[in-house]
Amino acid sequence: MDRAEVVHNNFITRMASGDLPQRLSNVSLAESGLSTDKLVEIFESQLLSRQLDRTSRKMQARGEGFYTIGSSGHEGNAAIAAAFRVDDMAFLHYRDAAFLIQRSKLLSGQTPIWDMLLSFSASADDPISGGRHKVLGSKALFIPPQTSTIASHLPKAVGAAYSVGLSRRHRPEQLQMQTDSVVLASFGDASANHSTAQGAFNSACWSSYQNIPMPIVFVCEDNGIGISTKTPGGWIEAGFCARPGLNYVRCNGLDILDTYKAAREVEYQVRKHRKPVFLHMNCVRLYGHAGSDVQTAYMSKADVERDESNDPLLHSANILIGEGLMSAGQILDLYRSIGERVERVAIEAALRPKLTSAKQVMASIVPAKKAHFEPVVIDEAQRQKMFASDTLAMTKPQHCARLISWAISDLMLQHSNIVLAGEDIGPKGGVYNVTGKVHSRFGADRVINTLLDEQSILGLAIGLAHNGFLPIPEIQFLAYLHNAEDQLRGEAATLSFFSNGQYTNPMIIRVAGLGYQKGFGGHFHNDNSLAVLRDIPGVIIACPSNGADAVLMLRECVRLAIEEQRIIVIIEPIALYMTRDLHQPEDGLWMAKYPSPETEQRIELGQIGQHGKGTELAIVSYGNGYYLSRQAQKILQKQYQMDIRVIDLRWLAPLNEQSLLRAVAQCGHILVVDECRITGSQSEALISLFSEQCQHRPKLQRITATDSFIALGKAATVTLPSCDAIVSAALQLTETTALSSEETQQQEQNIG
């Protein structure tokens, strides 16, 4: 028989016969701090959660529902919800329906039955995801939606907790939580082993150890098994009872008096002392992992029945009967009436409209604009004081790194909610001194030197964004982004999508990347693949090739984040940070004067750059490729009289296809120069675009890096495009005859 029905029948039979389990704790009602009304209310939340689980399976059997990972056995978390405020942001485990139901009782006008059944049926009317996924979430209840099964939501929960303390010192205009709020993050015992979760625990402890406020409660719901793999007995307690900076508290999730008492004590501790607590709640998992999971394939029948005999509803019923609050008959009547009500509502929910088009599904990938962006007027006296030591330098052309540094300082002066975060970005100024002097100008609160963990860096940024800050996290090298990819792909980029645009986490992720570094590097410091970013829906990828563009694009990134709530990754080519010259030593052609904040010059999203107006050949590139193409352009023009234009993409995603097509419309040949690898590079999309949509059918060719990692030393550039390779490819594409050695020598003398 279906184990859901077994558990259902067991509850009815044991309630009717009075065969109830013994109390698991000695906590009395008075000691727990619960009122009789609140105890009954929590029990009702538990019953509703159970009946929703049963109905979700019936809906699936009828072809009306699409999610059967239930909360049965975890209903003790309703008691935890009762101990906290509605504005304590909660990042919930997917088995926490009882928590959401109980929290909904703290705010009038909530309809959890209707809402969750719409979610089960993937209805477009689902108030949290709009039919995109079954998620536990509510904007009104401060519950951002989560889909994670591996606790990848914990780093951002840590970031949100950090933001609460930060908001006391630097209050953003769009503050979402109170300055005394507490953050909750729940997860399973198996997920506690995941490296992402361990990083979150470590960063919370690392902060707490230094007395940095970290008001977070980690709620570990320990049912002893992860899908089919058992958790060793005592493993969670052994791993968390003695961590520095972390207070460990245990409760029995089968006993709501014990659970509420512990949760209430934890709530008081964390709100008062601003230190993290690990609340270890033991529970059971009923029904198996999901509807298709047959527990007896990996558990003995005796073990399955042992867990079923510990049904938390039976334990709660025993407490209510023992306190004289309800009789067994009243409990059964309530259980049945809730079940009947849920089934009636489910029939109606299944009839509600569904998403039927790609346009509808994609509507929340890019959130709606929040407000019109009005640039903040800078206090000129304050600005002059800030840049006092740089006043003279700002009148002269400078390299890219210095221009970016000044742009960041100006933006932080304009927008008090901007916070930088990254490894070594403080007094050191980062590996390349891009954030040099920024720390001394704005202090450790706004230029955060993080621990060495990219998941924690991006998690911190997401959490800051949840509370009204505009984070600009830095990933030290592009190759290091892979350590934290899921924080961007699975957490940040999906938030608007799964919340139907109700939740957003705008941010600007600065990444030093790409190849051509001189002096040191190898693969770990020269990564020339952006494929990890290109296929994430909704994420903007910017890649400036020079300092002036970098400044203007960074300002546009801030506008996009504030006004359009976007997530932007700006790839800053390392090799061009300090580059001064273009064609020959001391020509200074790759430097620029700092564009004043008052300038009307802008580089909008999708706006491409172009050098030259030639129609014989268009070279399309970005980053280092654009720099090399400009060098090749001079050679091709001078030595071969070739009529050329060089186009700088600037924005790699989304590609402004129409602008690109217009830019090459008059050109007979198009050469795409891509410093990323031939497989998965931007060149694939560009060649497809030009071959499919250019009406004049130009001749096409691309030159890319080979499918190789980057080596160290003199071999560092041999797998990458070069100026010579671009020249050769252009000659081949245009069928231009190469000059003889004598002619080449003469041309070089003329150029020199």
Q: Are 331 and 320 in contact (CB under 8 A)?
A: yes
DSSP readout, 344-366? HHHHHHTTS-B--SHHHHHTTTS
Task: Determine the topology of domain 609-751 in CATH.
Answer: Rossmann fold (3.40.50)
Q: Is 328 exposed, middle or buried (0-12, 13-18, 19+ CB in 10 A)?
A: middle
Q: What is residue 152's predicted lDDT score, i.e. its pLDDT?
A: 93
The stretch 470-475 carries a mean pLDDT of: 97
Give pLDDT, residue 714: 85
Residue 278 has pLDDT above 80, yes or no: yes
- Are the C-beta atoms of 163 and 445 separated by less than 8 Å? no
Identify the DSSP state of 298.
T
Question: How much is the pLDDT for 750?
Answer: 46
Q: What is each CA distance from 664 to 203, 603, 695, 715, in whole angstroms?
A: 50, 20, 11, 34
Buried residues in 258-273 as b, exposed as e (16+ CB within 10 A): bbbbbbbbbbebbbee
The mean pLDDT of 708-721, rounded to a whole number, is: 91
- Of the pLDDT bands very low, low, confident and very high (cuts 50, 70, 90), residue 217 is very high
**Residue 617 dihedral angles phi and psi, to the nearest 5°:** -145, 130
pLDDT in tens, 425-439: 999 999 999 998 999
**CA dist 174 to 53, 158, 167, 370, 509, Å?**
37, 19, 11, 11, 20
* Measured distance CA(138)–CA(498) in Å, rounded: 11
Task: Specify whether the CB–CB gap between 236 and 243 falls below 8 A.
Answer: no
Residue 747 pLDDT > 60: no
Residue range 663-685: average pLDDT? 96
- Looking at the predicted structure, is the pLDDT value of residue 45 above 70? yes
DSSP H helix total and E strand total for the chain: 28, 21
DSSP letter at 483 equals G
Per-residue pLDDT, 526: 86
Closest CA to 446 of 428, 466, 473: 473
Does residue 72 carry a pLDDT above 70? Answer: yes
- All residues at 6 or more sequence positions from 442 whose CB lies less than 8 Å from its CB, including other chains: 409, 412
User: What string of H, E and C letters represents the secondary structure of 647-670?
Assistant: EECCEEECCCHHHHHHHHCCCCEE
* Fold classification of 3-361 (topology level): Rossmann fold (3.40.50)
Query: Start-end ranges of CATH 3.40.50.920 in the chain?
Result: 609-751
User: What DSSP letter does each residue of 490-542 carry, written as one string?
Assistant: IIITTHHHHTTTS----EEEEEEE-S--SSS-SGGG-----HHHHTSTT-EEE
Check residue 751 and give its pLDDT. Answer: 43
Count CB neighbours of 244 within 10 A: 8
Query: How far from chain centre, in Å, is Cα 751?
Result: 51
Which pair of structure tokens corresponds to residue 62?
Answer: 């009828």
The per-residue pLDDT for range 174-206, each reduced to its tens digit, is: 899 999 999 999 999 999 999 999 999 999 999
- Over residues 633-638, the mean pLDDT reads 96
Predicted confidence at residue 659, as pLDDT, reads 97
d(CA 589, CA 37): 76
Tabulate helix, strand, coil % of the chain (nearest 5).
45, 15, 40
Sheet containing strand 247-252, edge to edge, reads: 90-91, 183-188, 216-222, 277-282, 247-252
Residue 495, pLDDT score: 96
Looking at per-residue pLDDT, the higher value among 673 and 737 belongs to: 673
pTM of the model: 0.94
**pLDDT of res. 752:** 40
SS3 at position 554:
helix
Distance (Å, rounded) from C-alpha 481 to C-alpha 533? 10
Residues 728-738 have a mean pLDDT of 90
In this prediction, residue 746 has a pLDDT band, given cuts at 50, 70 and 90, of: low
φ, ψ of residue 470 to 5 degrees: the values are -110, 100
Q: Where in the chain is the domain with CATH 3.40.50.970?
A: 3-361, 380-577
- For 380-577, the fitting CATH number among 3.40.50.970, 3.40.50.10330, 1.10.357.10, 3.30.1540.10 is 3.40.50.970
Q: What residue spans of 18-140 are helical by DSSP H?
A: 29-32, 36-61, 77-82, 97-104, 112-120
Q: Write out the two tokens for 122.
A: 């993937």
> What mean pLDDT is predicted for residues 445-458?
95
The first and second tokens of residue 393, run together, are 């330098």
* pLDDT confidence of residue 745: 59
329-367 pLDDT, tens digit per residue, is 999 999 999 999 999 999 999 999 999 999 999 999 999
Owner of token pair 């940070």 = 577
Amino acid at 346: A
Task: Evaluate if residue 53 carries a pLDDT over 90.
Answer: yes
- Compute the average pLDDT of residues 599-611: 95
User: Residue 251, class by beta-carbon neighbours within 10 Å (0-12 exposed, 13-18 middle, 19+ buried)?
Assistant: buried
Whole-number average pLDDT of the chain: 94
**Region 256-269 average pLDDT:** 98
Query: pLDDT tens digits, residue range 138-158?
Result: 999 999 998 766 899 999 999
In 10 A of CB 598, how many CB atoms? 9
522 token code pair: 């190898």
Asked whether residue 257 carries a pLDDT value surpassing 80, the answer given is yes
Per residue in 561-577, pLDDT tens? Answer: 999 999 999 999 999 99
At 385-411, the pLDDT tens digits run 999 989 999 999 999 999 999 999 999
